[in-house]
Every structure is written in C-alpha cells, then in structure tokens.
Structure 1
Amino acid sequence: MLGTQFRTGSPIWIDLGSPDTQTAAAFYGAVFGWDFVSAGPEAGGYGFFQKNGGTVAALGRLTEQGARSAWMTYFRTDDAQAAARAVTEAGGTVRTGPVTMGEASFAQFTDPQGAQFAVLQSGQGLQRASEDNALVWVELHVGDPGAAIGFYRGLFGWRAQEMQAPGMTYQVLSIAEGDPQEGSFGGVAPLQEGAQEARWVPYFAVADADAIVTATGDNGGTVLMPAANVPGVGRIAWLADPAQAVFAVLRPDPRQA
C-alpha cells in the first residue's frame, strides 16, 4: 500500500489548486479535520494540510489561466528534466517546469489522453499516508487503459496486474521494485459511460465513508457517488469540494489490511 518510504514512481506529494484557498481550507478542515499551515508570505498563499502535525496534502491558488480546481498527484522521479523529455517523446505535454526549489525539482504534465499529473525530484514528501484522513490510493480513469499503462510504464517502470471489478477490468499499479502487493499504490479504470475527462483521482482513507458524505454536503460540497460497498476493497464514495475538485474516500475492508 501507499506509504512514506518513497521510491521511483511512487506517489510522493498531492496538492489542491483552488480559486479560493480560504474556503478550501475551511471545507477540508470540516470534512477531514485537517489543519492548514501557511508556507509563509513568500509562498504566494501555498501551504500544508496537516493531521496531528504531519503533512497529508498541500493547497495553493490556481496559477494557470483557465485552469479548474483539481487535485494534483506527484510521483517521485530521480530526474525531473529527464522525465519532462520522456513525457514529450511519448506524446504527452509539459505544462509547468521543471522548476527547482532548493534541493527539490518538480514539473507538471498532461498525459497523451488528457490526464494531468506531476513529478517531484526530492527525498521528502507526505508525512502521513494509508491511515484515516490521509491519502491511501490514486486512480487513473482513462479511455484507453492499455495505452495509459504503456505510457506510464515508460516513465516509471510501473507494473500492472489485472483484476476483475464490478462491471469492468481493473488494473492494479505497483512500483517497479519489490513485492507487487506491498508496492501497490493505485489503479487504472476505463472511463465510465458518460464520462468525458481523463483524470487522476485521489482516495483518502476514512473510518466512516457515510459520515464523510454527510459532512461534504453539509459544508458546500457535492456527492458524485454515494457511499457503496465494493467487495474485497471497502466502502467508497466519490465527492467534490465547493470548487468542484473531485476526490474519493475509502473505508478499507479490514480483511484487506
């Protein structure tokens, strides 16, 4: 499962671009109990969502013209410059960077099917994961899962293992090294009927998915998919915050822990 011992290709960071960071901080504070800590006046409003003093995500103002509020997943890379070249050569687009900040570098991309993601070259990342109210899984929804897996395998060396899920064939992703089950961090699913936009969706672990659904509605968010049980996985809901950034929650099946 997703952890905080970051290796090449593993999710290392996640942040939210929002048109109204004050409203976003209040919403996620009410839903997940997160505290927002500013990175300082020189950071342009960027800051960190924390749980018990450990960073679980980050928040910043939207900077791209015409951009919509969304969560961005960053994957660890050993070389952000090389990743940018590889993305371009494989048919993707470099949207931002690479940008160097101190000892870290990052870049943001769009894959060939339109899903946005990022890379971070750093030894430091999220301080909490795979626990209640923290990131536990990332999921790519895309029109051609096979092509997507080939693209990302070329970048990160990911492995994919097929499993049957209700109404679809699901691909479980794991990093290139170590045991696939221990190194799994996300999955790839085909776009559902009526869906138009390829995207990465973050899942946050929760103790009570139904309570999170209620809190989302009570605090100005939207319920996209009510809480439902997925055999062998847990209880899942899809939600959107007040600016329509999409995220999901998962109460893991204890038998899968």
Structure 2
Amino acid sequence: MSLVDSNQPDSTPTWIDLDVPDLDRATEFYRALFGWDFHTAAPTAETGGYTTCLLRGRAVAGFGPASERDPAPGFWRMYFATQDCDATARRVVDAGGTLTQAPLDIADRGRVALAVDPVGARFGLWQGRTHPGCRIVNEPGSLVRNDLSTPDPDPARDFYTALFGFTLDGNDDLPGLDFTFLRRPDGHEIGGIFGDPAAAASAWQTTFEVADTDAVAERAVAAGGAAGEPTDFPYGRYAEITDPFGTAFSVITRPPSRRE
C-alpha cells in the first residue's frame, strides 16, 4: 500500500508527529532530508498551531509546538488507528497502560488520545474522520514502519497483545536478537518489539523509506543533524539519523523484493 484514502484497520500505525521547539528549523531540516512541503493551520485550543508535512501534496506527518502535554523527547510519536478512540482508551487502562491525554476531538479531523504503556513507551490513538492519517506510506519520504525498543520486552508484548489482539512471531532473519513481529488478527505485520538490554528508555522508533540511504545520511549532516554509518542488513540499507533537536529515527532503502 502506498496511497491511503480511508482509515486504516484498527491497531495499524496510522500517523506520526513531532513536537518541535523551532518550526522554521524543523521545516528547513525535513525539507532538505525528504523534500517535504508544509502547511501550518491557524492556532486552535486543541492543536496550538499544527503543521502538516506534505509529500506530493498529501499528508505524511505533523509538527506540533513543543509543550508539556506529552513530553517524549527524542522520538517521533506514533498513533494507532482505532474505530472507537474512547473504547480503545479504556482498554489501554485495563491492560495496564496510562492515559496522558483523555480522548479529545480535533475539530472534524478525528478523535485522539495519548498514552504510555507499562514499560514507559508513549503512543497515541487516532480515530480518523476527515483525516485518516498518513496519506502516503512505504514510499521514499514516508513512513515505512515503527518498532518498539525496550530493555523490558515481555511486559510490552503482554500489553499490546491484550490491547489489540496481536499475535507474536519470531524472526529467523535476525538470529541472536530478541525481536518479535507484531501481527494484527488478520495476520498483517504492523511492526515489532525489540528487546534491547542496552536501551536507555522504551520508545516506539520510526523508520522512513528513502531512495538512497547514503545520500539521505549526507543530507542530514549537511542540514545540521547527525547520521550513523549506513549499514546493509537483511531488510535493506539502513542508517540512524538525529535531527537538530535530538530526535532519533531511522531511514532505509529496501530492495524491490522487500517492498510492499
């Protein structure tokens, strides 16, 4: 799937956004990195002035003003799709998570809630109305996947299977690593959970598709960010990027055989 014109199935990562302390600096960096354009809406009580990141005129991510509403420095915030934000928010609590923002309408765009899971990873819920979420995925310059990295993976796996009915599959491609795929009840893979004893904190980590990992890493450094050494691994050529505010994410160039 590349173009998205309707709400994704429940439990699918459907939107990402980032609270930024300097909007001009953020737009400069991510335009240089991914070729995004931007549209900033007039400030409202709900959003405080929200900027939509656009690829070919279609929404792929968002920037909000840095605030104390859901402090999660260092990572993009990921939202799971839900047809009923209120019911899913209640299940978050029943499964052992905590709500940091109760369900709230964002005009006619949708209904949102913010939460933290039992291992401390933050995420959102999104019930789309006029805004289904990312309108392009799995293409260069857009979201390709999210994975939870945590030093304490077992409670995380228990929580997300209870919350969304995910099934867990091992990964033979990465022997020796504590990684499990998360699959929706229909069998579709939505991401994974990586048990990393060295992880400083638990977080959902975002990966963007790119056409040339090495070129994007070079552009990140030239635009004022940082980049790790591009590396080949079973799913493509990968690099870790850090933006000028310290936000960490990854980029990958997948071979044709790995593209959806």
| Among 12, 15, 22, the residue aligned to 2:14 | 12
Local SS of the residue matching 2:245? coil
Local SS of the residue matching 2:252? strand
What RMSD in Å do the two structures reach over aligned CA positions?
A: 1.9
CA contact (8 A) 1:174 1:186 kept: yes
Structure 2 counterpart of 1:175: 184
- TM-score w.r.t. the length of structure 1 is 0.90
Q: Which moved more, 1:6-15 or 1:83-92?
A: 83-92
Structure 1 counterpart of 2:123: 117
Gaps of 5+ in 2: none
| Among 86, 102, 105, the residue aligned to 1:100 | 105
| Among 189, 194, 201, the residue aligned to 2:205 | 201
**AA at the equivalent of 1:126:** C
> Relative to total residues, which structure has the larger strand share, 1 or 2?
1
CA contact (8 A) 1:235 1:251 kept: yes
Local SS of the residue matching 1:147? helix
Quote the Cα distance in structure 1 between the aligned partners of 2:69 and 2:203: 19
**AA at the equivalent of 2:52:** F
CA contact (8 A) 1:236 1:251 kept: yes
Deviation at 1:141, TM superposition (A): 0.2
Structure 2 counterpart of 1:29: 31
Quote the Cα distance in structure 1 between the aligned partners of 2:168 and 2:33: 33
Local SS of the residue matching 2:134? coil
Gaps of 5+ in 1: none
Quote the Cα distance in structure 2 between the aligned partners of 1:56 and 1:132: 11
| 2:230 is the alignment partner of 1:218 | no
CA contact (8 A) 2:150 2:195 kept: yes
| Among 178, 183, 196, the residue aligned to 1:191 | 196
Q: Percent identity, please.
A: 34
Residue correspondences, number: 250
Structure 2 matches for 1:32-111, cutoff 5 A? 32-42=34-44, 43-64=47-68, 67=71, 68=73, 70-103=75-108, 104-111=110-117
- TM-score w.r.t. the length of structure 2 is 0.89
Local SS of the residue matching 2:53? strand
Structure 1 residue ranges, 4+ long, deviating more than 4 angstroms after superposition: none
Quote the Cα distance in structure 1 between the aligned partners of 2:49 and 2:176: 42
Q: 1:39-58: per-residue Cα shift (whole Å, max 9, x none)?
A: 23445331110011111111
CA contact (8 A) 1:236 1:250 kept: yes
Structure 2 counterpart of 1:244: 246
